């Protein structure tokens, strides 16, 4: 593989390219620039876990705390064989910018463990999670760093983290993680929050371009908590969801998919293979389908210099973190595609995580309408803030989102001062 491609697909490089460009346009104070370029802290852990056969395996795990200027670090933990420190670094800094774009009082962090959760038993996953948590005892907490779910982690994982942390503290500390089951301090609406946030920003974009919801074709890559929920909510809103993909394959129906039927099929068969109500298309072809909204909601590096020129959407709504490489940005911009960048588009999840943290600390829980209407307000305001910055500086919306975020974090860093 040519070096350029390796570099293009390094998410930390992708983040840095945009950061540098935004910092330059903002004429960022060079001292603040130096500070914001680096994560605050990177923790590497070697986690011994007794496997079901009685032998031990040692897993490598990370927690990167990128920035604390605006509050505790905040961000998910992912379990995947592909986790790298550079990826976690990028994801941690994206959390800093994401929290600043939606103006919630958190910095950014991210965790990752190199493992294959699909090949591990629930017992092995529980032991891994608990040991990872106890090794991080001095670094996490409601005022320090608040983890949440990400790829291949879920409400159960968060319950184990909360319990382990609480055992060490000798009392129940619900606010140490978000994305918990509702019964033990989770928030109503958290599970659907990322998908719902995507719906809200897509609605704003559709309004901005005077498009009709019913005539808007949506192609969604990813059928998990983000893509699957977004597909369901967009379908109920009246959008024509014409494409949906998961790891097992990609389906397309130009007349609109029966989303509830397809999701039920996926739940039952764990694959789209054999689904008869739609055409099956290849992975590359899928992203190049003719549509109004393309929503990559799976993983990084899906839109690159290789395929960006072949996109046929009008709006790119980034449900995943880092689905577009920095090198592909210019191609997407040349095609006049309106980008709802990841740090805005998928911020619904962390926004309701913030609500969960607030509710846990108050010990007073809101109903789902309250959660959803506060989420709506934040997503719409943030969308408008980004569009305003884009217009003011005559830049694309991705750069505008970075500029909005960096400006906020820089201001807070400056006013706090650098402790020496
Ligand atoms: N993992 C999600 C994200 O990337 C949610 C993070 C959170 O709720 O803290 O935004």
pLDDT tens column, 249-272: 999 999 999 999 999 999 999 999
Q: Which of 98, 110, 180, 314 is catalytic?
A: 110
The pLDDT of residue 2 is: 46
pLDDT in tens, 165-190: 999 999 999 999 999 999 999 999 99
Distance CA 230, CA 214 (A): 16
CA of 85 from ligand 1 middle (Å) equals 17
How many alpha carbons lie under 13 Å from residue 342 in its C-beta half-sphere?
Answer: 29
Q: Are strands 108-114 and 56-67 parallel, antiparallel or unpaired?
A: antiparallel
We report the CATH number of the domain holding residue 199 as 3.40.50.720
In 272-420, DSSP assigns E strands to 279-281, 293-296, 315-317, 338-340
Q: Do 154 and 222 sit in the same domain of this protein?
A: no
Point out the domain boundary residue: 344, 379, 414: 344
**125 and 214 co-located in one domain:** no
Asked if the model's pLDDT at residue 1 lies above 60, the reply is no
Number of structural domains, the chain?
Answer: 2
User: Has residue 101 got a pLDDT over 50?
Assistant: yes
Q: Which of 153, 163, 165, 169 is nearest to 110 (CA)?
A: 153
Range of the domain at 149: 41-179
Same domain, 209 and 336: yes
Report the atom number in ligand 1 closest to the C-alpha of 179. 8
Contact present, 112 and 62 (Cβ < 8 Å): yes
Residue 145's SS3 state is strand
pLDDT of residue 304: 97
83: domain CATH number is: 3.40.50.10860
Burial (CB < 10 A; 0-12, 13-18, 19+), residue 7, is middle
Q: Are 239 and 129 in a shared domain?
A: no
Whether residue 217 is found in the same domain as residue 173: no
To the nearest whole percent, how much of the chain has pLDDT over 70? Answer: 99
pLDDT band, very low/low/confident/very high, at 420 (cuts 50, 70, 90): confident
Residues 237 and 307 in one domain: yes
Q: Is the pLDDT of residue 230 over 80?
A: yes
* Ligand 1 pocket member 148 (CB < 6 A): yes
What is the average pLDDT score of the chain? Answer: 97
Residues 169 and 293 in one domain: no
Whether residue 134 is contained in a domain is answered as yes
Domain termination site, one of 136, 156, 179: 179
The answer to whether residues 68 and 198 belong to one domain is no
User: Is residue 240 annotated as part of the catalytic site, yes or no?
Assistant: no
- 225 and 157, same structural domain? no
Nearest atom (ligand 1) to Cα of 146: 9
Q: Are residues 216 and 173 in the same domain?
A: no
155/231 same-domain check: no
Domain boundary among 118, 153, 179: 179
Mean pLDDT lowest among 10-14, 115-119, 294-298: 10-14
Residues 340 and 271 in one domain: yes
pLDDT surpasses 60 at 4 = no
Cα of 148 from ligand 1 centre, angstroms: 6
This prediction has a pTM of 0.97
> What are the pLDDT digits (tens) for 268-326?
999 999 999 999 999 999 999 999 999 999 999 999 999 999 999 999 999 999 999 99
pLDDT at 121 over 60: yes
């Amino acid at each position: 593989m040519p070096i350029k491609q390796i570099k293009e697909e390094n998410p930390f490089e992708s983040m840095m390219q945009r950061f540098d460009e935004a910092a330059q346009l903002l004429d960022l104070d060079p001292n603040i620039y130096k500070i914001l370029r680096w994560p605050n802290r990177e923790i590497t852990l070697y986690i011994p876990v007794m496997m079901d056969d009685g032998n031990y395996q040692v897993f490598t795990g990370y927690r990167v705390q990128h920035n604390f200027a605006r509050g505790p670090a905040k961000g998910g933990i992912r379990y995947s064989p592909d986790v790298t420190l550079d990826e976690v670094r990028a994801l941690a800094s994206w959390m800093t910018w994401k929290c600043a774009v939606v103006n919630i009082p958190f910095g950014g962090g991210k965790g990752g463990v190199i493992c294959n959760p699909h090949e591990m038993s629930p017992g092995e996953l529980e032991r891994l999670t608990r040991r990872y948590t106890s090794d991080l005892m001095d670094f996490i907490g409601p005022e320090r760093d608040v983890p949440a779910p990400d790829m291949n982690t879920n409400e159960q994982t968060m319950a184990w983290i909360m319990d382990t942390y609480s055992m060490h503290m000798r009392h129940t500390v619900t606010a140490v993680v978000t994305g918990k089951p509702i019964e033990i301090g989770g928030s109503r609406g958290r599970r659907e929050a990322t998908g719902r946030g995507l719906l809200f920003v897509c609605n704003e974009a559709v309004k901005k371009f005077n498009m009709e919801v019913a005539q808007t074709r949506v192609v969604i890559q990813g059928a998990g908590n983000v893509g699957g929920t977004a597909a369901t909510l967009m379908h109920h809103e009246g959008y024509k969801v014409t494409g949906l993909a998961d790891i097992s394959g990609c389906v397309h129906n130009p007349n609109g998919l029966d989303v509830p039927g397809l999701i039920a099929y996926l739940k039952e068969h764990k694959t789209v293979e054999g689904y008869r109500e739609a055409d099956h298309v290849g992975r590359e072809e899928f992203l190049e389908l003719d549509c109004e909204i393309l929503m990559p909601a799976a993983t990084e590096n899906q839109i690159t210099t290789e395929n960006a020129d072949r996109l046929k959407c009008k709006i790119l709504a980034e449900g995943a973190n880092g689905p577009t490489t920095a090198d592909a940005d210019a191609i997407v911009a040349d095609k006049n595609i309106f980008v709802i960048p990841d740090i805005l588009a998928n911020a619904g999840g962390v926004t309701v995580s913030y609500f969960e943290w607030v509710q846990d600390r108050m010990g007073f829980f809101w109903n789902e309408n309250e959660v959803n209407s506060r989420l709506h307000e934040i997503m719409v305001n943030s969308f408008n803030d980004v569009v305003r910055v884009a217009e003011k500086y005559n830049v694309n919306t991705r750069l505008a989102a970075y500029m909005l975020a960096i400006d906020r974090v820089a201001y807070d860093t400056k006013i706090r001062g650098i402790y020496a």
